[in-house]
A and B are shown apart, each in its own frame.
Chain A
Amino acid sequence: MNVLVSLNKEKSLSRAARLAVSHALISDGRFSSGNSILTREQISSFISAAHRLDIRVIVRVDRLYDEDELDDLADYLRFLSGCQADGLLISDLAVWMLKEREELSLPCIYGPETLLTSSREIAQLKADGLEGCVISKEVPFRDVRAMAEANSGYCWLRLYGPSLLSVSKRRFISLYLEDEGEHADDYYLQEESRELMMPIIEKKAGSWLYGPTMHGLDAVREISVLPLCGVIFDGVFDRDEDVLKALQLHQQVLDGQLSEKEALKNLPDPDGRREYLSVLAVRDTVLNKEEA
């Protein structure tokens, strides 16, 4: 099974290779969500270095794009194709249409976070020609299993990382504070009657709000035998060493070197506010207040 891990630094690649990472997930400052910023030069260099270690590189091109961004987006995709990127993680079907139009060899993994909640939806997108899909994170594990089995070898599962709750074109922090500053790092929202701290990233293109950090420590054995294309460890805004540590803990549990409980205690808490949620704990949702 493939293992896709978000990385920001080239120097993290050798450790990733030792942990059998098959794919690295990288981001730029404009066309990606998240808050890591690799320049074009750094992206090109990262891809070359990864390929030398036999690690493939997926580039996060996962925003929703306005019409007046499409020309620049096309230019960016041509650049990525030119430096031999191995694929794209996308959220806007425009990216897939664009790479098809430009006949670029950039397989797309479609991961809109919320829209892929059934086996049939994924089967249909596969039939349409999309090269891969990420199962939405709000799906109970029972359905995850069904979706993977119905689309053998096609689906990716987010196994670790902050869960994206919402995407907005609005810059909520700037609007609230009435300033035009940068608000990408270390900002949190806390609903007034709850304790949960929700990381929020604001960029020029809008705001991304995150919830608890998902993990699969208590499900690794079950997941390891699912017919998935791969699993994703996406730290979004976390340091490479934290994401790689989380990967290592999952591997140690799978290999029987560590108990789930011990691994859970050792999961990183870079901001001291991390709340973890197992992929097994995602519940069926309801429609009415009374049932909730």
Chain B
Amino acid sequence: MKTELLAPAGDLERLKIAVMYGADAVYFGGRQFSLRARASNFSLEDIREAADFAHEYGCRAYVTVNMIPHDSDFIGLPEYLKTLQDFGIDAIICASRAIMTICRQAAPDLEVHISTQQTTTNSLAAAYWQKQGADRLVLGREVDLMNLKTIMSRVEMPIEVFIHGGMCANYSGRCTISNLLTNRDANRGGCAQSCRWNYHLYHGEQLLDRPDCLLSLGSRDMAAADYLEDLLRLNVASLKIEGRMKTAYYLANVIKAYRFMIDRYYNNGEISGEDLACGKKMLARVANRPTYNGFYGGRESGSQIYTLPSQPSQNYVASVTDYRDGFGLLETRNFYRKGDLLALMNPQGQDISFRVERMTDEDGQEVEIANRPMQRLWVKLPAPADRYSFIKMSED
């Protein structure tokens, strides 16, 4: 069985992008029972459409039901799970033993994947979930490669691990800093990311602040392409990309990069240095925080950020909303002008560079510059495009 590439989706548009750019499976949350309250999240009608769309392209669809529930949170849950089953959803991702049991009773055809919120970091804890009948286990992000190898040799159930995206400062599911400092519940979708705030450090009465920065618990993001081949050789069931809050453009790039490297591995038996460099270059385009390999290489090496600021990417120029007779209707995201060298990114194939020769607005008036967000302009493109295509700055 090939390892699955599992991608997040914050809404239906991003789900379609994830499918088109090569995810084998997608995960997303409904409006109830899920973490990431600030993601757009899916209505029931959206969930039905998402399942249909994913299945049409041979992609599996998982719904996160991963809050740590309080007593009042169970209202309507059995009916909701039954609805997910009726829609053809393949699995739920849950972090609660009680929700797992309710799912087994109300919707027995749904697979149950145990969320990383349960912080499973060893084979014995994994055996607990196997004993209870879970179908898959998402390991804690703190497991290093050596320990993962041992876990894989001792556990029979399918194992899912993270390959890319944001990292919690603390063990996921074991943090309530946000609850205390903001009254927003970290384990019910309200995490305020208080770990990324600045803190003074004291020893007794002595202030230990560094001159260059205060202490932040926030971590760099994971970008573990260096370990991709190892993980594929271990035959983990699934490689998960984090980021239900991320943009469509971010997802398209990240999924395309991992799809490219995974396909190279299965076609050639390895990921060559050249392919790895190419994949990492694609990932670097959309990195908006400093990245590292997570815990795969051992504990905490280079994990913290401190003085390194976030870097919003200016690489994304426009999305394509329509295509007719060689011209694309572009919706502007970042400044560009006539004469600029841009690139067309489609779900399949390599990026195609082109120079902007002519730009017109929707009334046919010639325009020299695109400098308003969401401005819609017709631009001649070097190849056919569709609504899953993006325009970015050329790297040529």
A residues contacting B by CB (< 8 A) are 64-70, 92-98, 101, 112-115, 117-121, 123-125, 128, 137-139, 143, 146-147, 163, 165-173, 175-177, 183, 186-192, 194, 197, 209, 211-212, 283, 285-289, 292
Inter-chain contact B97/A121, CB cutoff 8 Å = yes
The 5 A-B residue pairs whose C-beta atoms are closest, nearest first, are A285-B185, A94-B124, A67-B147, A120-B98, A287-B190
User: Which residue from chain B places its CB closest to the CB of A146 in the assembled complex?
Assistant: B71
* Chain B 186-202 per-residue mask, 1 if CB under 8 angstroms from chain A, else 0: 01111010110111111
Chain A residues closer than 8 Å to B304, beta-carbon distance = 170, 172, 175-176
Kindly name the residue among A95, A113, A115 whose own CB sees the greatest number of chain B CB atoms within 10 A: A115
Inter-chain contact A190/B98, CB cutoff 8 Å = no
Inter-chain contact B171/A288, CB cutoff 8 Å = no
Determine if B184 is an interface residue (Cβ-Cβ < 8 Å). Answer: yes
C-alpha gap A113/B101 in the complex (Å): 21
C-alpha gap A188/B38 in the complex (Å): 31
B218 to chain A, nearest CB (A): 10
User: Which residue from chain A places its CB closest to the CB of B35 in the assembled complex?
Assistant: A287
A68 to chain B, nearest CB (A): 6
Chain A residues closer than 8 Å to B170, beta-carbon distance = 166-168, 209
B71 to chain A, nearest CB (A): 5
Chain B residues closer than 8 Å to A175, beta-carbon distance = 300, 303-304
A177 to chain B, nearest CB (A): 7
Chain A residues closer than 8 Å to B175, beta-carbon distance = 114, 165-167
Pick the contact of B125: A94, A115, A124 (CB < 8 A). Answer: A94
Pick the contact of B184: A139, A167, A286 (CB < 8 A). Answer: A286
A sample of 21 inter-chain contacts (CB < 8 A) reads A64-B174, A66-B142, A68-B150, A93-B125, A94-B128, A143-B70, A166-B176, A167-B175, A168-B171, A169-B295, A169-B300, A170-B169, A172-B215, A175-B300, A187-B202, A189-B199, A189-B215, A209-B217, A283-B183, A285-B190, A288-B190
B residues contacting A by CB (< 8 A) are 37-38, 68-71, 73-74, 95-98, 101-102, 118-125, 127-128, 132, 140, 142-144, 146-148, 150-151, 169-171, 173-177, 179-185, 187-190, 192, 194-195, 197-204, 208, 210, 214-215, 217, 219, 295, 299-300, 303-304, 306
Inter-chain contact A67/B169, CB cutoff 8 Å = no
Pick the contact of B199: A118, A163, A190 (CB < 8 A). Answer: A190
Chain A residues closer than 8 Å to B102, beta-carbon distance = 120
Pick the contact of A190: B121, B177, B200 (CB < 8 A). Answer: B200
Q: Given A114-B176, A173-B201, A292-B192, list of 7 further CB < 8 A pairs?
A: A66-B122, A67-B147, A67-B148, A97-B128, A114-B187, A166-B174, A285-B183
Pick the contact of A168: B169, B184, B200 (CB < 8 A). Answer: B169
A195 to chain B, nearest CB (A): 11
B168 to chain A, nearest CB (A): 8
C-alpha gap A69/B142 in the complex (Å): 14
C-alpha gap A289/B199 in the complex (Å): 21
C-alpha gap A86/B23 in the complex (Å): 51
C-alpha gap A190/B215 in the complex (Å): 10
C-alpha gap A120/B73 in the complex (Å): 11
Q: A94-B125, A286-B190 known; A192 and B199 CB under 8 Å?
A: yes
B3 to chain A, nearest CB (A): 20
Inter-chain contact A292/B122, CB cutoff 8 Å = no
C-alpha gap A292/B304 in the complex (Å): 28
A115 to chain B, nearest CB (A): 6
A269 to chain B, nearest CB (A): 15
Pick the contact of B202: A68, A177, A197 (CB < 8 A). Answer: A197
Kindly name the residue among A92, A147, A283 whose own CB sees the greatest number of chain B CB atoms within 10 A: A92
C-alpha gap A226/B191 in the complex (Å): 32
Inter-chain contact A120/B174, CB cutoff 8 Å = no
C-alpha gap A188/B300 in the complex (Å): 21
Q: A121-B97, A192-B197 known; A112 and B180 CB under 8 Å?
A: no
Q: A67-B122, A114-B176 known; A167 and B97 CB under 8 Å?
A: no
User: Which residue from chain B places its CB closest to the CB of A98 in the assembled complex?
Assistant: B124
Inter-chain contact B210/A287, CB cutoff 8 Å = no
Inter-chain contact A165/B150, CB cutoff 8 Å = no
Chain B residues closer than 8 Å to A189, beta-carbon distance = 199-202, 215
C-alpha gap A147/B71 in the complex (Å): 8
B336 to chain A, nearest CB (A): 34
Q: A118-B73, A192-B200, A197-B202 known; A124 and B37 CB under 8 Å?
A: no
A215 to chain B, nearest CB (A): 16
Chain A residues closer than 8 Å to B300, beta-carbon distance = 169-171, 175
User: Which residue from chain B places its CB closest to the CB of A288 in the assembled complex?
Assistant: B37
C-alpha gap A199/B53 in the complex (Å): 50
B243 to chain A, nearest CB (A): 19
